[in-house]
C-alpha cells in the first residue's frame, strides 16, 4: 500500500528528538528569531516528525523557512497584535511572521479566552504556512480543552467540483480532544483527497500514486509519479457521486473562517504563492461538564474503537490520533529517522548557519 511505502526508506539517519529540537532552535535563532520564538517554532516542526507527519517535519519544511527568515521574505521580529476583540474572540494580525510563530501566539490567545469565558475563537491574518495543523489544537489538551484549527494554503492545486482549473488550496482542518489513559483524538486532514506533501514525498521516493490522487488537464487520472508535477488534485470524496462537493465545501468553510473572517481574503482569490490565514478555537470542557468525567467517557469510547474487530485483511482498527500517538512513543525512544535524500540539504543548512548537526543515535 502506497501510504506505508511513503513512510519507508533505506538507510535512515536516526537522531534523538531532543538533539533535533536543539538543532532547529539554534538554527531559527541564527535566522533571526528570538530565543522564545525559535524554541516554539522548532517544537512545531519536531512534533510533526514525532507524529510521523514527515512532510511537515524538519526535513521537508525547515530549509525554506530558515531561508525565508534570513532572506527577509518572512518577518523575524514581528509585532503580532490583537486588532479587535470581544470576550470570546480576537482578530489577530501576524505581521508576516513565520506561520508557526503567529499561529502559536493566536492559539495561546484562544486558550486564554476559553479560560475566561468558556471558549476562545481567533482569526489570524497576515500569516504564513503554519506547518502541521494538528499542533495548535494539541496545545489545548493540557488545559483540558478541545482544540480546533484550520488554515489556508499557499498553492492552487485542488479542483472545485465540476471546475476546469484548480484554484483551491488543500485547506487542512485539525482537531484534538483529550482522553484520560487513551491516546488523545488528533485529527489532521487536508480537505482534499490527499495533501500536497504526500505527493511531494512520492516524487522524492519515485513511487507511483494511486488512481484518484491526481488528474491531468483532460480530467483523467494520473498515477505515474513523474507526471504529477503541475497536475491537479481532487476534493475529499473525489467525484460528485462519491461526495467531492463535501470536500470542496469543507475547503470553502476553511477559506471563509480563515480568509474572509480575518480579512486576509479567501485563499482562492489571492495571487500565488498565497499568504496564509488561520482560524483557531479552544473549548473548555468544564464549561459543559466535569473534565475528569469527560475524559473517562473518552477512554471508554476510544477503547471501543480500537478494540473493534477488523475486516478481513486488516490487523486492527484505529481512531484519529492513535497511530500518531504510537509513532510518537516509538520515535521518542528510537529517535527520528531522517531520510538520506534530505540529510544533505539539512547539513548544508547547518554549515551555512554554522550550527552543529545532530549526531546519529
Contact residue for a copy of itself among 73, 81, 164, 181 (CB under 8 A): 164
Q: What is the nearest approach in angstroms of a copy of itself to the Cβ of residue 333?
A: 25
Q: What is the nearest approach in angstroms of a copy of itself to the Cβ of residue 225?
A: 14
Residue 250 binds a copy of itself (CB under 8 A):
yes
Contact residue for a copy of itself among 70, 167, 205, 327 (CB under 8 A): 167
Q: What is the nearest approach in angstroms of a copy of itself to the Cβ of residue 289?
A: 5
Q: Which of these ranges, 29-37, 96-104, 243-251, 347-355, lies near a copy of itself under the rule CB under 8 A?
A: 243-251
Secondary structure letter of residue 87 according to DSSP: T
Please give the backbone phi and psi of residue 155, each rounded to the nearest 5 degrees, phi first.
-95, 175
3-class SS at 56?
helix
What is the C-alpha separation between 23 and 147, in angstroms, rounded?
Answer: 29
What is the C-alpha separation between 289 and 312, in angstroms, rounded?
Answer: 39
- DSSP H or E run through 126: strand 119-127
Q: Residues 311 to 330: which contact a copy of itself by CB under 8 A?
A: 311-312, 314, 316-320
How remote is the C-alpha of 171 from its chain's centroid? 10
Q: What is the nearest approach in angstroms of a copy of itself to the Cβ of residue 245?
A: 7
Q: Which of these ranges, 12-20, 27-35, 73-81, 238-246, lies near a copy of itself under the rule CB under 8 A?
A: 238-246
Contact residue for a copy of itself among 73, 81, 240, 330 (CB under 8 A): 240
What is the C-alpha separation between 12 and 198, in angstroms, rounded?
Answer: 18
Q: Which three cell numbers stand for residue 231?
A: 497536475
Q: What is the nearest approach in angstroms of a copy of itself to the Cβ of residue 54?
A: 17
Q: Tell me, residue by residue from 25 to 44, as one string, x for binding to a copy of itself by CB under 8 A and - for no binding.
A: --------------------
**Torsion of Cα atoms, 192 then 195 then 199 then 204, to 10°:** 180
Q: What is the nearest approach in angstroms of a copy of itself to the Cβ of residue 176?
A: 10
Q: Residues 118 to 157: which contact a copy of itself by CB under 8 A?
A: 118-119, 121, 123, 146
The string of DSSP codes covering 34-54 is -HHHHHHHHHHHHHHHHHT-G
Q: Are 151 and 130 in contact (CB under 8 A)?
A: yes
Q: Which of these ranges, 59-67, 298-306, 324-332, 347-355, lies near a copy of itself under the rule CB under 8 A?
A: 298-306
Closer CB to a copy of itself, 74 or 270, in the complex: 270
> Strands 119-127 and 276-284, how do they pair?
antiparallel
Closer CB to a copy of itself, 131 or 238, in the complex: 238
Closer CB to a copy of itself, 35 or 239, in the complex: 239
Closer CB to a copy of itself, 51 or 252, in the complex: 252
Closer CB to a copy of itself, 61 or 192, in the complex: 192
Q: Residues 178 to 237: which contact a copy of itself by CB under 8 A?
A: 185, 187, 189-190, 193-194, 210, 212-213, 219, 236-237
Largest CA distance in the chain: 55
Q: Of 8, 10, 31, whose CA–CA distance to 354 is shortest? A: 31
Task: Please work out the total of residues on this chain that contact a copy of itself, with binding judged by CB under 8 A.
Answer: 87
Let me know the angle formed at the C-alpha of 120 by 284 and 149, rounded to the nearest 5 degrees: 95
Q: Tell me, residue by residue from 81 to 120, as one string, x for binding to a copy of itself by CB under 8 A and - for no binding.
A: ---xxxxxx-x-------------------------xxx-
- DSSP H or E run through 14: strand 13-15
Strand order in the sheet with 81-86: 81-86, 89-93, 119-127, 276-284, 145-151, 173-177, 185-189
Q: Residues 255 to 284: which contact a copy of itself by CB under 8 A?
A: 255-257, 260-263, 265-266, 268-269, 283-284
Closer CB to a copy of itself, 14 or 303, in the complex: 303
Q: Alpha-carbon torsion 92, 94, 100, 104, what sign?
A: negative
Amino acid at each position: 500500500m502506497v501510504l506505508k511505502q511513503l513512510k519507508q526508506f533505506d538507510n535512515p539517519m536516526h537522531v534523538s528528538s531532543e538533539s533535533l529540537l536543539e538543532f532547529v532552535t539554534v538554527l531559527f535563532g541564527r535566522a533571526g528569531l528570538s530565543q522564545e520564538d525559535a524554541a516554539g517554532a522548532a517544537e512545531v516542526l519536531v512534533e510533526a516528525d514525532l507524529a510521523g507527519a514527515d512532510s511537515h517535519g524538519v526535513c521537508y519544511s525547515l530549509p525554506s523557512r530558515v531561508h525565508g527568515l534570513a532572506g527577509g521574505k518572512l518577518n523575524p521580529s514581528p509585532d503580532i497584535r490583537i486588532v479587535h476583540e470581544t470576550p470570546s474572540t480576537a482578530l489577530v494580525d501576524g505581521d508576516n511572521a513565520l506561520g508557526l510563530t503567529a499561529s502559536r501566539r493566536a492559539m495561546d490567545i484562544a486558550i486564554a479566552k476559553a479560560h475566561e469565558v468558556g471558549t476562545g475563537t481567533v482569526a489570524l491574518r497576515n500569516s504564513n504556512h503554519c506547518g502541521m495543523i494538528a499542533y495548535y489544537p494539541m496545545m489545548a489538551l493540557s488545559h483540558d480543552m478541545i482544540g480546533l484549527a484550520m488554515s489556508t494554503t499557499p498553492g492552487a492545486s485542488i479542483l472545485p467540483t465540476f471546475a476546469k482549473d484548480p484554484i483551491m488550496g488543500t485547506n487542512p482542518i485539525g482537531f484534538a480532544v483529550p482522553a484520560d489513559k487513551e491516546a488523545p483524538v488528533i485529527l489532521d486532514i487536508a480537505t482534499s483527497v490527499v495533501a500536497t506533501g504526500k505527493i511531494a514525498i512520492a516524487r522524492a521516493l519515485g513511487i507511483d500514486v494511486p488512481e484518484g490522487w491526481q488528474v491531468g488537464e483532460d480530467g483523467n487520472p494520473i498515477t505515474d509519479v513523474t507526471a504529477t508535477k503541475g497536475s491537479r488534485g481532487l476534493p475529499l470524496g473525489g467525484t460528485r457521486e462519491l461526495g467531492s462537493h463535501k470536500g470542496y465545501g469543507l475547503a470553502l468553510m476553511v477559506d471563509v473562517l480563515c480568509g474572509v473572517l480575518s480579512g486576509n481574503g479567501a485563499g482562492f482569490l489571492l495571487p500565488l504563492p498565497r499568504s496564509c490565514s488561520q482560524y483557531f478555537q479552544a473549548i473548555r470542557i468544564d464549561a459543559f461538564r466535569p473534565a475528569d468525567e469527560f475524559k473517562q467517557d473518552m477512554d471508554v469510547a476510544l477503547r471501543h474503537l480500537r478494540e473493534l474487530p477488523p475486516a478481513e485483511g486488516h490487523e486492527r482498527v484505529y481512531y484519529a490520533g492513535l497511530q500518531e500517538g504510537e509513532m510518537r512513543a516509538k520515535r521518542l525512544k528510537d529517535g527520528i529517522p531522517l531520510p538520506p535524500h534530505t540529510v544533505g540539504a539539512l547539513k548544508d543548512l547547518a554549515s551555512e548557519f554554522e550550527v552543529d548537526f545532530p549526531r546519529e543515535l
